[in-house]
Structure formats: C-alpha cells, structure tokens
C-alpha cells in the first residue's frame, strides 16, 4: 500500500456511479450529516470535494459520478489500493432538530447524501419522508437503505421505468397539498434543486439545499466556491454547503459551475489518451 488511506471496498452502483468505503478514522469518527471531504489521489492530483454518504467504524463512504479526469481516475482504483489525502469532515453539519415531519429529497447521485441526513432526523424524533428520483430505474441508488431509514419512501423516474413517472418535485408538491411538512432537504443537480425548492417556497416551508460549486481548498482560503445567498457572497465550503434554498441564486451557481468546462475537457482528454 502506497498511501495512508486504504480503499476498503469499491463497487459500481450504476452507470458512471461508484461507491467506495475508505479507511479514514479521523473522518469517520466525526462525520455528521451534510458534511463533505476533500480527497487528493496522489502528489499530482487535484483536490476534489466528495459528500460523506455514510460512516461505519473507521471507514467513510463516498458515492460519486465520473464527471472528469479525477473522478475517472478514482474509479479505476480497486479495493486494497490507496489514496494520498482525505481531509475532513468539512463544512457545517445539517441543522438537525426535532421539527415534526421532514422530507429528504435526493436526485441522481445526490441521493448519496440522503441516508445520513434522514437517519439523523429520524434519531432526533422526526417523521421522515424520503423522495428519491433518477432519470431511469438503472440510475436509482440506495433505495433499500432509504426504505429502511425513512418512515415513507417515494420513488420517481423521469422515464417512468420505476415508481412515479415524473420528478421528485411532483411528489413533493402533492405531499405539501395533503399535509404539513415542517422542513425539507433537497440534494441533487443545481437545476433540480432550483426547480424542487420552488415548490416549497409558496408554502413557506424552510428548505435546505446542499450546494456543489467548484471547490479547491475546502477551508475558506481560495474563494472558488463563492455562492450568492440572500444577496450576500458566501463560501460554500465553510458557510455551507447547506443553505436556505429560497435565498440561493441558482443561476449564478450554474454559471460558475461551468467556468472551467473547457479546461476540464482538456484534462480529461489527456488522461484518457
């Protein structure tokens, strides 16, 4: 083993989606819902943020989609291999309390964050409703785990291949019409969080989203993770990553996420050669 952080297990969950358990006692022992870590694979690797999806004993679970050079490279590593740096847990934990009825919504690979949030809400005494959605059934992850944690679980797929044919926002809208929901968490692609949180705004339900801007250091030093919340500039890595959804400027977030698209494409092409 070359580096300190051993990969205990590596599995492919869906097309381009991988689940890794990494031996990282300092992260695993302190990890709370909503937090993330930053990994660097080797001396020449870039730093990338990954959401903490679960913690067990001395190991932490990350679930990621291959979207560029570093995630593609990470996905080539096997159980028994190792990575150089695992920094974390980073970011502020989710604001868990006993609110009453809470809904945790995950879209696509964003579902990775939902079990930890749902489990902590459940432990705090809430009635927890899960809604997990994906483009199609084969991209749906962690269904069994969420079913075990949540009091109720709803599934949606864009193409109708599993569960409700439609979007998580459709189910959430119906639930809000039928009953009182006290808090909502939404984790997924920026556009999905924008659309889904627009459903809770008219009902005045406090809603948290976990923002995923470009990050470099993850400690508030570089400014690359700037987001606009309530007209103020915040750093997602230290002020978030969770923010009040109804205050977030999602268009600004999506624009900033695209800043390095051409450089990322070049880096990936070089890696793939």
Q: Give me the residues that bind ligand FES (CB under 6 A), please.
A: 215-218, 220-225, 235, 237
Which token pair is 143? 């269904």
Select 34 or 218, whichever has its Cβ closest to ligand FES: 218
Measured CA distances, 177 to 42, 171, 202 (Å)? 50, 10, 11
Provide, rounded to whole angstroms, the least separation between the CB of residue 19 and ligand FES. 24
Select 21 or 64, whichever has its Cβ closest to ligand FES: 64
Provide, rounded to whole angstroms, the least separation between the CB of residue 80 and ligand FES. 31
Give the strand pairing for 48-56 and 59-65.
antiparallel
Select 75 or 216, whichever has its Cβ closest to ligand FES: 216
Q: φ and ψ at 168, to 5 degrees?
A: -55, -35
Select 160 or 220, whichever has its Cβ closest to ligand FES: 220
Measured CA distances, 128 to 96, 150, 189 (Å)? 12, 5, 22
Going by C-beta distance under 8 Å and a sequence separation of 6 or more, which residues neighbour residue 81? 1, 2, 6, 7
Provide, rounded to whole angstroms, the least separation between the CB of residue 216 and ligand FES. 5
Provide, rounded to whole angstroms, the least separation between the CB of residue 38 and ligand FES. 8
Alpha-carbon gap, residue 5 to 23, rounded angstroms: 6
């Amino acid at each position: 083993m070359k580096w300190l952080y051993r990969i205990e297990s590596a599995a492919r969950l869906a097309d381009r989606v991988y689940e890794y358990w990494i031996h990282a006692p300092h992260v695993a022992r302190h990890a709370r819902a909503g937090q993330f870590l930053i990994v660097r694979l080797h001396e020449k690797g870039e730093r990338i943020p990954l959401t903490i999806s679960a913690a067990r004993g001395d190991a932490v679970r990350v679930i990621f989609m291959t979207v560029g050079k570093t995630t593609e490279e990470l996905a080539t590593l096997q159980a028994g291999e190792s990575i150089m740096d695992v920094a974390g847990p980073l970011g502020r934990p989710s604001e868990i309390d006993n609110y009453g009825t809470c809904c945790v919504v995950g879209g696509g690979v964003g579902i990775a964050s939902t079990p930890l949030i749902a489990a902590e809400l459940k432990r705090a005494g809430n009635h927890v409703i899960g809604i997990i959605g994906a483009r199609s059934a084969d991209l749906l992850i962690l269904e069994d785990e969420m079913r075990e944690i949540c009091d109720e679980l709803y599934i949606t797929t864009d193409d109708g291949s599993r569960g409700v044919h439609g979007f998580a926002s459709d189910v959430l809208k119906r639930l809000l019409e039928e009953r009182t929901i006290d808090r909502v968490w939404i984790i997924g692609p920026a556009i999905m969080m924008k659309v889904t949180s627009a459903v809770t705004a008219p009902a005045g339900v406090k809603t948290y989203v976990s923002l995923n801007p470009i990050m470099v250091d993850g400690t508030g030093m570089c400014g690359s993770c700037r987001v606009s919340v309530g007209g103020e500039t915040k750093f997602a890595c230290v002020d978030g990553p969770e923010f009040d959804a109804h205050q977030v400027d999602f268009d600004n977030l999506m624009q900033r996420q695209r800043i390095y698209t051409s450089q990322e494409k070049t880096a990936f092409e070089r890696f793939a050669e």
